[in-house]
Amino acid sequence: MAIIVQKFGGTSVGSPERIRNVAGRVLEERNKGNSVVVVVSAMGKTTDSLVSLAKEIHAAPSSREMDMLLATGEQVTISLLAMALESLGQEAVSFTGWQAGIKTEPTHGNARITDIDPRPVSSVLEEGKVAVVAGFQGITEQGGITTLGRGGSDTTAVALASALKASRCDIFTDVTGVFTTDPRFVKDARKLLSISYDEMLELANLGAGVLHPRAVEFAKNYSVPLVVRSSMEQEEGTIIGEESSMEENLIVRGVAFEDRITRVSVIGLAESLNGLPSIFAALAKNSINVDIIIQNITADGSANLSFSIKTEDLEKTIRVLEGCRKLAGYERIETESGLSKVSIVGSGMVSNPGVAAQMFSVLADNGIQVKMVSTSEIKVSVVVEDIHMVDAVEALHDAFALSVNQVHAKSQ
């Protein structure tokens, strides 16, 4: 008997009707003879509502108390789903994160899973019952309740699948799989039959919201087969694993994008070796994620440093830079907001030179100026103005023949 882990997000369990629909999907898998573990998020916008409620009480509540509050959202869902399964004749047991043996580091709001004791869940499965586990939460060695941050339920599901040696982890969402780009912006975006861990990890890190990067990283590290599929439609999803099928021999597999990007430039950085370390150590200490980094040495021996950040971190970034100005020895700071990052991803890029050149040519032909560039073996990212983001995505999606019609034409 195989163990299947299923994860359902907040939209999928957003109402009693949808919870009953999830119970039906669970029973479908159970009736195939498989043991089933279900990981669920809080219903609909529950987490947002709890955050708003906290802000009405305290303008800046402690992270510990926020974890205590937010962890209650999933507890509602697990009990209701267990009831729904029981109403259909299937015995089920609900578990909070700590009852399911999920141990985390002592970091409130964005904790990482350090260990899972699979015995509590395994014992329920051995009795022929369905285990319903709260995602997004765990417990420290000292007994403190923690939450796992954005996308935490995905990570919970993958981690449980690894600990239980599950045959597969199904991530049920409001889309039917992983697409070549966001179909809300590009109507002829195509669903991929399969994609590699590395490609999915790049896409997730670059703005594709279908899976959280931490969950993909966990799946890759522990070789957990993932399937992204729809919670509402009976349709095959996208398989994520070690190797993709390289369907249609596509060099580029997808186009990802992310708006609200700001470029920060540190002008006249001193020649001292302490400049760069002091700046990036200070940014890291304040949990500011830096993406694309460019440094130019000027004729007088000083340097100009530019890097990209999320616009929401701009004020904090300026404060941090001003705090280390004396040690870094720079002249001034310049910023440019209203930017977006657009990226192409594909493992076929490793053995096919000229992909970046083609990308830059396509953007130039469409009158889109590139402000920053970052590359890896399987991706090229550019920073462009916000107003050109969708145009850039559409042009690149078309240029690399990713649409449904283009793929069909190539196969004929």
Domain ranges across the chain: 3-174, 255-411
Sheet holding 254-269, edge to edge: 293-297, 303-310, 254-269, 332-345, 379-385, 372-376
Report helix angle 275-285 to 314-323, nearest 10: 130
Angle at CA of residue 253, ends 248 and 257, nearest 5°: 155
For the domain covering 3-174, report its CATH number.
3.40.1160.10
3-state secondary structure string across 263-294: EEEEEEECCCCCHHHHHHHHHHHCCCCCCCEE
Residue 270's Cβ-side half-sphere holds a number of Cα atoms within 13 Å equal to: 14
- Which stretch of DSSP H or E encloses residue 378? none
Pairwise pLDDT comparison (386 vs 270), residue with the higher score = 386
CB contact at 8 A, 1 and 30:
no
Residue closest to 383 by CA, chosen among 359, 401, 402, 353: 359
The alpha carbon of 380 is separated from its chain's Cα centroid by a whole number of angstroms, namely 19
Q: Which CATH architecture has domain 255-411?
A: 2-Layer Sandwich (3.30)
Q: What is the pTM of this model?
A: 0.88
CA distances (Å), 138 to each of 141, 152, 199, 215, 277, in order? 10, 10, 29, 15, 34
- Quote the DSSP letter at residue 129: P
Q: Looking at 20-166, which runs of residues are DSSP E strands?
A: 35-40, 92-95, 102-104, 113-116, 130-134, 137-139, 145-147
User: What are the tens digits of pLDDT across the range 130-184?
Assistant: 999 999 999 999 999 999 998 899 999 999 999 999 999 999 998 899 999 999 9
User: What are the tens digits of pLDDT across the range 51-79?
Assistant: 999 999 999 999 999 999 999 999 999 99
The alpha carbon of 400 is separated from its chain's Cα centroid by a whole number of angstroms, namely 24
Q: Work out the widest C-alpha separation in the chain, in whole angstroms.
A: 78
Question: Which residue reads 């083609």 in tokens?
Answer: 358
Phi, psi of 397 (to 5 degrees): -60, -40
Q: How far is the first Cα of the chain from the last one, in angstroms, to the nearest whole number?
A: 42
- The C-alpha atoms of residue 352 and residue 267 are separated, in whole angstroms, by 37
User: What are the tens digits of pLDDT across the range 180-198?
Assistant: 999 999 999 999 999 999 9
User: What are the tens digits of pLDDT across the range 200-232?
Assistant: 999 999 988 889 899 999 999 999 999 999 998
CA distances (Å), 82 to each of 33, 130, 152, 174, 405, in order? 19, 8, 21, 22, 44
Residue-level pLDDT at 412: 46
